[in-house]
Structure 1
């Protein structure tokens, strides 16, 4: 294939999601809404420089935006996995219309102070916290899996198109009509999204005969999945290493524009617009860059670009230079964010997708919130230029230390349900809330393959934990070498039945690998145990990892 043909193929794959009407409509509505959101954010940052010009208070606007997402994303992810995601989005968007319109009216009447602005910013952030996991989780319903990576990248493109338009438009609107009107227009943009969601009819999803998972149990199972997924953990480590330091750029940008560069809202808007243009331009080359560099090198390059931008802001107080490097900031940002987001999406099955993404979002915004507060306070004490240089150095150090944690480890995994486990053999009806449950599997292993068997069982342990087990162990019979007992425990009988539905095709292949070590024609013997019913006996708690009672 010629270079030109390869480039054409990359371009087609990059834009393929627009061939699906639902994606195209919702993507367009989201871009319009994000333009409104960026106008809202620019207005809030600029308004705070008038209400309280302290670097800490200006940075707190960014913190008030991201803190609710850090606080509520896990709950939002569980809710998005338990209820109809489309209806949830419509309800939350309606609440955001009310909050944003209320803030706009108060600003128009001149009744807002610094702390009131932070309160409304926090409420808007809370709405965004409940939108984000559900919105990201519906992407696989809009496009087929081969187009998922391109769809995630295009969502980032949409965000950055809005970043290119929204801030510049906000600066123009603030200068021409007043600072209240970006809030009014943002409220209208939410209405457009509500209309698109009312139009969309999601494809039918497989229905389970089991009761809906309880809220706190859903949160625990989501956290358990992420903890047991090494590809997801690697993605989170890389996210922390980048966002904790990149947050300095976003938190201090209003102060950089106003104090360091002696500019007005127009300069601030142009800098943000340059970020957006850079991000869109970077997204156009992402397919080719991913193929030539790979996700890990791409994230490292984006981190180096961000460090360069921070250093230029610290050392060069020229508006034209600031606008130019803001372009680099946008390209670097989308290189990192898109790579991390796709890495998270590809390792999550649908039953836990919103919860897993909520953990990613929590880490993302938690790092941004913590970083905003750290860099805002550091700038108040040591000055903006020194703070930016410190953040630049930290981002490079973070890239080096996090390099061993590789991205996109789950690309080859088939996470669709295998449904290959037979129904448990029981003597009678078992109440769903009975528990805990212990499952044992008996293997006969040749001594020559015992080490390889134990290595394969480590991978199986992670699979058991991802799908619902909270404890796991493997033991060899001292009286009969080669006889191994695997056990894992789950919260209840209902939790174990859910485990049956959650086993993925990749888990089935792993179990086949383990089964190959088993001697004899028969399958390993599986036995289910229930703790005695309440009042039947006093029993100690179930064994934890590495313990026998």
Structure 2
């Protein structure tokens, strides 16, 4: 079901939980993620047994994030064109098979460095599909006004899992070994699949305008290429995660070699990060009243850097646990803030694909960072690598603080204000390309203001499907100005009619107010001959 934004419900950080479907799926996901963190603890610690080299240990983190970097965009396309519920069920089955394989290999003594990295890589493929799909269903489960709270609750749920999973995984790992730990993870996927089967998602509507994989892929890339607000989110995210990844890549070695801990302590350390993240998620609504998104990301970067710097110098376990709390709070603040802004600047028709690019950037930064910090730690030591990362995080946090994150207040729901154009029969909608001409009459005094407004409109044309755009004038009548843009096919132009948002309609109204004609600007459609 899709909640109505007009439904009267209590507002607040936990308001999305009033929606039963969201609440059930959220609880199931917390359980599933708890099992995943247990698996990750077992894998990371098992690698320190198989090979103590920093680069090898960092490879586990890299193997988990590299598939997400490589496959995020195709995964986002699948999210937008397939039934998201069925896709999520398939993903859970894939992840369960990975953990089952790890359990068998470990229990039979056949595990090796290569097999562990390979299994982790396949698990990363499941995560690549999972990320954009789960994020894209959020607007289906809650009202628009609750999206930020729902994103924060998702992050809270992940970090509840991060608090419970590693600690429980460490206990099971120390007491019973990696095989049983992987087995418990397998069982958790059954609960997630049951919740997804219970969710009666409305069937997808199919029409002659349904997108193919290739067309949807190109449309998603065009949108991302032309969305300047999304560009700012992606750049800020990449910089933060590149340096913050040092802690996640090197933490197993910090726990084992610098703090002289065992598997149980490593799980406890990750649990402290999770507890800190829970605290950060609970405090985040109040923090938003004090700081804007840019201030929140800056504060998160400075706290993370300070925690890494102190952790690089200490051998005290109690202090390390305290730093884990701080790190968790900072991490959830940055993660939730950047994710919420990304959600807020995207319309629903391209949400899965564009979020996939965000996930790709996130995991690309984590992969590059993990490999880089692992190699650096091999040459200069773990503590020195953490200090370098902390210094870089501080410098880039201040350098990019003035590169402001975009506003999320624009109304991106479809306006449906374009009149239906006369065109070929639906069976011929593959014809193209199509050139759209819009003829304006602009007074000389308004010319510069009109051109400034219509050039802002060009980004909207490209985001919604145009492959090229231009503005021309009549050589004999300079007041006659023609805007033109190309789309791949008649079907793509009809989709463009469905994609124009209310915010875009406001921008178009600003352009049209300069038109001096007695009638609306004349629109023509020129279709390539077959």
TM range (shorter): over 0.9
**C-alpha displacement at 1:194, in angstroms?**
0.3
Q: How many residues align?
A: 521
Question: Does 2:419 align with 1:422?
Answer: yes
Contact 2:33 2:161 in 1 (8 A): yes
**C-alpha displacement at 1:168, in angstroms?**
0.7
Q: Which runs of 4+ in 1 moved over 6 A?
A: 427-430
Q: How does 1:272-311 map to 2 (within 5 A)?
A: 272-311=270-309
**C-alpha displacement at 1:402, in angstroms?**
2.0
Distance change in 2, residues 1:166/1:477 (3 Å): same
Contact 1:141 1:202 in 2 (8 A): no
SS of the residue aligned with 2:163?
Answer: helix
In the aligned structure 2, how far is the partner of 1:209 from the partner of 1:34?
A: 36
In the aligned structure 2, how far is the partner of 1:162 from the partner of 1:427?
A: 54
In the aligned structure 2, how far is the partner of 1:70 from the partner of 1:467?
A: 25
Match of 2:7 in 1: none
Match of 1:228 in 2: 226
In the aligned structure 2, how far is the partner of 1:354 from the partner of 1:333?
A: 23
RMSD of equivalent CA atoms: 1.4
Distance change in 2, residues 1:492/1:65 (3 Å): same
SS of the residue aligned with 1:64?
Answer: helix
**C-alpha displacement at 1:274, in angstroms?**
0.6
In the aligned structure 2, how far is the partner of 1:350 from the partner of 1:388?
A: 40
In the aligned structure 2, how far is the partner of 1:122 from the partner of 1:532?
A: 48
Match of 1:268 in 2: 266
Contact 1:470 1:489 in 2 (8 A): yes
Match of 2:250 in 1: 252
**C-alpha displacement at 1:404, in angstroms?**
3.0
Contact 1:166 1:273 in 2 (8 A): yes
Question: Does 2:114 align with 1:102?
Answer: no
In the aligned structure 1, how far is the partner of 2:329 from the partner of 2:135?
A: 22
Unaligned runs of 5+ in 1: 1-10, 534-549
Match of 2:58 in 1: 59
Question: Does 2:503 align with 1:500?
Answer: no
Identify the match of residue 508 of structure 2 among 497, 508, 511.
511
Contact 2:25 2:192 in 1 (8 A): yes
Deviations 1:306-331 (A, max 9, x none): 10011011122221111111100000
Distance change in 2, residues 1:276/1:427 (3 Å): closer
Match of 1:5 in 2: none
Q: How does 1:170-181 map to 2 (within 5 A)?
A: 170-181=169-180
Distance change in 2, residues 1:440/1:338 (3 Å): same
Identify the match of residue 365 of structure 2 among 364, 367, 372.
367
Contact 1:440 1:526 in 2 (8 A): yes
In the aligned structure 2, how far is the partner of 1:338 from the partner of 1:140?
A: 16
Distance change in 2, residues 1:137/1:477 (3 Å): same
Contact 1:430 1:493 in 2 (8 A): no
| TM-score after normalising by structure 1 | 0.93
SS of the residue aligned with 1:14?
Answer: coil
Match of 2:23 in 1: 24
**C-alpha displacement at 1:212, in angstroms?**
2.2
Q: Which moved more, 1:453-462 or 1:417-426?
A: 417-426
Match of 1:465 in 2: 462
Contact 2:269 2:321 in 1 (8 A): yes
Q: How does 1:389-468 map to 2 (within 5 A)?
A: 389-409=387-407, 411-426=408-423, 431-468=428-465
Match of 1:488 in 2: 485
Deviations 1:464-496 (A, max 9, x none): 011000111112223212211111111111111
**C-alpha displacement at 1:418, in angstroms?**
1.4
**C-alpha displacement at 1:202, in angstroms?**
2.3
Contact 2:208 2:426 in 1 (8 A): no
In the aligned structure 1, how far is the partner of 2:427 from the partner of 2:497?
A: 16
Distance change in 2, residues 1:476/1:430 (3 Å): farther
SS of the residue aligned with 1:180?
Answer: helix
Match of 2:5 in 1: none
**C-alpha displacement at 1:531, in angstroms?**
2.2
Contact 1:235 1:405 in 2 (8 A): no
Q: How does 1:34-433 map to 2 (within 5 A)?
A: 34-203=33-202, 207=205, 209-409=207-407, 411-426=408-423, 431-433=428-430
Match of 1:539 in 2: none
**C-alpha displacement at 1:208, in angstroms?**
5.8
Distance change in 2, residues 1:154/1:509 (3 Å): same
In the aligned structure 2, how far is the partner of 1:427 from the partner of 1:281?
A: 58
**C-alpha displacement at 1:203, in angstroms?**
4.6
Q: Which moved more, 1:16-25 or 1:92-101?
A: 92-101
Unaligned runs of 5+ in 2: 1-9
Q: Which moved more, 1:89-98 or 1:53-62?
A: 89-98
Contact 2:440 2:517 in 1 (8 A): no
